[in-house]
Amino acid sequence: MAQLIFTQQLARFLPVPQVTCAEDNLRAALDYAFADNPRLRGYILDDQGHLRENVAIFIDGKRPRCSRRLDDPLAPHSQVYVLQALSGG
């Protein structure tokens, strides 16, 4: 099961979930997380469903290939960190 870890910086605004899922790509895993936390979507993705400019994602230590598609594959035990980028302060 892949694990999604969201930055605790979000806790000022909404409950921060800890998510484990069987999805095999990043977009599907994010959608899984948003299904139970619909308000979270707007904090991570923009109007077009792209990764917000100042949010960073690491999948097993690597950045996604495309911040618009977010279609990177996930391994069964991937760890996905969703963090605030330092650019947006």
Partner 1 sequence: MTERAYIGTRKGLFELARGHEAWKLDAHHFLGDPVSMVLSDRRDGTLYAALCLGHFGTKLHRRDPGSKAWTEVAVPAFPPKPDGSEDKVEWTVRQIWSLAAGGPDQPGVLWAGTLPGGLFRSNDRGDSWQLVEPLWNMPERMEWMGGGYDVPGIHSICVDPRDSNSVLVGVSSGGAWLTEDGGNSWQPRAKGMRANYMPPELAESQNVQDPHRIVRCPAEPDKLWCQHHGGIWRSVDNAATWTEVKPDHGISNFGFATAVHPKNGEMAWFVPAEADQRRVPVHGAFAVSRTTDGGHSFAAYRGGLPHEDCYDLVYRHGLAVSDCGNLLVMGSTTGGCWVSEDGGGQWQLVSAHMPPIYSVVFAAAQ
Binding site for partner 1 (CB under 8 A): 9-10, 13-14, 39, 42-44, 46-50, 52, 54-55, 84-85, 88-89
**Residue 9 CB, nearest approach to partner 1 (Å):** 7
Residues 6+ apart with CB under 8 A from 63: 56, 57
Nearer to partner 1, 24 or 36 (CB): 36
How are beta strands 18-21 and 2-6 bridged, if at all?
Answer: antiparallel
Amino acid in the structure at residue 41: R
- Minimum CB separation of residue 41 from partner 1 in Å reads 10
